[in-house]
Amino acid sequence: MSRPCPCGSGMPLESCCGRFLSGATGAATAEELMRSRYTAHVLGNVGYLKNTLWPAYQKAFDAIAVGAFASGNRWIGLSVLETEDGGADDATGTVLFEARFLAGTDMGVHRELSLFRKKGGRWYYVEGLPEGGKMRRI
Protein backbone atom coordinates (compact mmCIF):
# COMPACT_ATOMS: atom_id res chain seq x y z
CA MET A 1 0.00 0.00 0.00
CA SER A 2 1.34 3.43 -0.93
CA ARG A 3 1.88 6.26 1.50
CA PRO A 4 -0.68 9.12 1.42
CA CYS A 5 0.64 12.49 0.33
CA PRO A 6 1.39 14.77 3.30
CA CYS A 7 -0.32 17.69 1.52
CA GLY A 8 -3.71 16.28 2.48
CA SER A 9 -5.04 15.67 -1.02
CA GLY A 10 -5.97 12.09 -0.17
CA MET A 11 -3.90 10.83 -3.10
CA PRO A 12 -0.82 8.59 -2.86
CA LEU A 13 2.45 10.53 -2.50
CA GLU A 14 3.91 9.23 -5.77
CA SER A 15 0.92 10.36 -7.86
CA CYS A 16 0.53 13.68 -6.02
CA CYS A 17 3.44 15.81 -4.77
CA GLY A 18 5.99 13.02 -5.17
CA ARG A 19 6.03 13.49 -8.95
CA PHE A 20 7.03 17.13 -8.46
CA LEU A 21 9.66 16.37 -5.81
CA SER A 22 11.21 13.69 -8.03
CA GLY A 23 11.41 16.08 -10.97
CA ALA A 24 9.18 13.87 -13.12
CA THR A 25 6.98 16.88 -13.88
CA GLY A 26 6.48 20.46 -12.75
CA ALA A 27 3.57 21.91 -10.85
CA ALA A 28 0.84 23.16 -13.20
CA THR A 29 -0.59 25.64 -10.69
CA ALA A 30 0.55 27.81 -7.82
CA GLU A 31 -1.48 25.68 -5.41
CA GLU A 32 0.23 22.50 -6.60
CA LEU A 33 3.61 24.14 -6.02
CA MET A 34 2.59 25.33 -2.55
CA ARG A 35 1.33 21.85 -1.62
CA SER A 36 4.53 20.27 -2.93
CA ARG A 37 6.66 22.73 -0.95
CA TYR A 38 4.72 21.80 2.21
CA THR A 39 5.39 18.14 1.39
CA ALA A 40 9.08 18.97 0.91
CA HIS A 41 9.12 20.45 4.43
CA VAL A 42 7.51 17.28 5.81
CA LEU A 43 10.02 15.04 4.01
CA GLY A 44 13.03 17.30 4.61
CA ASN A 45 13.68 17.83 0.89
CA VAL A 46 15.60 21.11 1.21
CA GLY A 47 16.92 20.90 -2.36
CA TYR A 48 13.38 21.07 -3.72
CA LEU A 49 12.61 24.08 -1.54
CA LYS A 50 15.64 25.89 -2.94
CA ASN A 51 14.97 24.89 -6.56
CA THR A 52 11.37 26.12 -6.41
CA LEU A 53 12.34 29.45 -4.84
CA TRP A 54 12.35 32.47 -7.19
CA PRO A 55 15.76 32.31 -8.95
CA ALA A 56 16.94 35.74 -7.75
CA TYR A 57 16.55 34.55 -4.12
CA GLN A 58 18.22 31.15 -4.45
CA LYS A 59 21.76 32.40 -3.79
CA ALA A 60 20.73 33.73 -0.35
CA PHE A 61 18.78 30.54 0.53
CA ASP A 62 19.94 29.22 3.92
CA ALA A 63 19.70 25.44 3.49
CA ILE A 64 20.92 24.74 7.02
CA ALA A 65 18.30 26.96 8.68
CA VAL A 66 15.51 25.68 6.43
CA GLY A 67 16.56 22.08 7.02
CA ALA A 68 16.63 22.63 10.79
CA PHE A 69 13.14 24.17 10.71
CA ALA A 70 11.76 21.38 8.53
CA SER A 71 13.24 18.53 10.56
CA GLY A 72 12.82 20.23 13.95
CA ASN A 73 9.04 20.13 13.74
CA ARG A 74 6.45 17.40 13.39
CA TRP A 75 4.15 18.47 10.58
CA ILE A 76 0.49 17.79 11.39
CA GLY A 77 -1.48 19.04 8.40
CA LEU A 78 -2.10 21.60 5.72
CA SER A 79 -5.20 23.67 4.98
CA VAL A 80 -5.50 25.70 1.80
CA LEU A 81 -7.81 28.56 2.69
CA GLU A 82 -7.88 30.58 -0.52
CA THR A 83 -6.25 30.84 -3.93
CA GLU A 84 -6.27 33.74 -6.36
CA ASP A 85 -5.09 33.29 -9.93
CA GLY A 86 -2.15 30.86 -10.13
CA GLY A 87 -3.75 28.69 -12.80
CA ALA A 88 -1.97 27.07 -15.72
CA ASP A 89 -2.51 30.17 -17.91
CA ASP A 90 -1.63 32.77 -15.25
CA ALA A 91 1.72 34.48 -14.68
CA THR A 92 1.23 35.03 -10.93
CA GLY A 93 -0.93 33.71 -8.15
CA THR A 94 -1.40 33.73 -4.40
CA VAL A 95 -2.27 30.96 -1.98
CA LEU A 96 -3.40 31.51 1.60
CA PHE A 97 -2.66 28.49 3.76
CA GLU A 98 -2.14 27.22 7.27
CA ALA A 99 0.43 24.56 8.10
CA ARG A 100 0.04 22.99 11.53
CA PHE A 101 3.02 21.54 13.37
CA LEU A 102 4.31 20.40 16.73
CA ALA A 103 7.49 22.01 18.02
CA GLY A 104 8.32 19.76 20.94
CA THR A 105 5.05 19.69 22.86
CA ASP A 106 3.81 23.05 21.57
CA MET A 107 1.31 23.23 18.71
CA GLY A 108 2.11 25.85 16.09
CA VAL A 109 0.39 27.23 13.02
CA HIS A 110 2.24 28.86 10.17
CA ARG A 111 -0.27 31.03 8.29
CA GLU A 112 0.92 32.66 5.11
CA LEU A 113 -0.33 34.37 1.98
CA SER A 114 2.26 33.17 -0.54
CA LEU A 115 3.09 34.87 -3.81
CA PHE A 116 4.00 32.64 -6.76
CA ARG A 117 5.32 33.69 -10.15
CA LYS A 118 5.88 31.79 -13.35
CA LYS A 119 9.14 32.04 -15.30
CA GLY A 120 10.00 29.97 -18.35
CA GLY A 121 6.81 27.96 -17.91
CA ARG A 122 7.70 26.98 -14.29
CA TRP A 123 6.06 28.12 -11.08
CA TYR A 124 8.27 29.52 -8.31
CA TYR A 125 7.62 30.62 -4.74
CA VAL A 126 8.50 34.31 -4.47
CA GLU A 127 7.66 35.42 -0.94
CA GLY A 128 5.11 35.66 1.83
CA LEU A 129 2.78 38.65 1.73
CA PRO A 130 0.80 40.28 4.50
CA GLU A 131 -2.81 39.25 4.15
CA GLY A 132 -3.70 42.79 3.07
CA GLY A 133 -1.72 42.13 -0.13
CA LYS A 134 1.22 44.53 0.26
CA MET A 135 4.56 42.87 -0.38
CA ARG A 136 7.12 42.31 2.35
CA ARG A 137 10.11 40.02 2.74
CA ILE A 138 9.86 37.33 5.40
| CATH of residue 53 | 3.10.450.50
Domain hosting 98: range is 13-129
User: Could you tell me if residue 94 is inside a domain?
Assistant: yes
Query: What is the identity of the amino acid at 123?
Result: W
pLDDT tens for each residue of 72-124 = 999 999 999 999 999 999 999 999 999 999 988 999 999 999 999 999 999 99
Q: Is 105 exposed, middle or buried (0-12, 13-18, 19+ CB in 10 A)?
A: exposed
Backbone angles phi, psi at 28, to 5 degrees: -85, -20
User: Could you tell me if residue 17 is inside a domain?
Assistant: yes
Cβ distance 74 to 101 under 8 Å?
yes
Query: How much is the pLDDT for 130?
Result: 75
User: Could you tell me if residue 52 is inside a domain?
Assistant: yes
pLDDT tens for each residue of 117-132 = 999 999 999 999 877 5
Domain count, the chain: 1
pLDDT higher at 138 or 81: 81
Q: What predicted TM-score, i.e. pTM, was given to this entire model?
A: 0.91
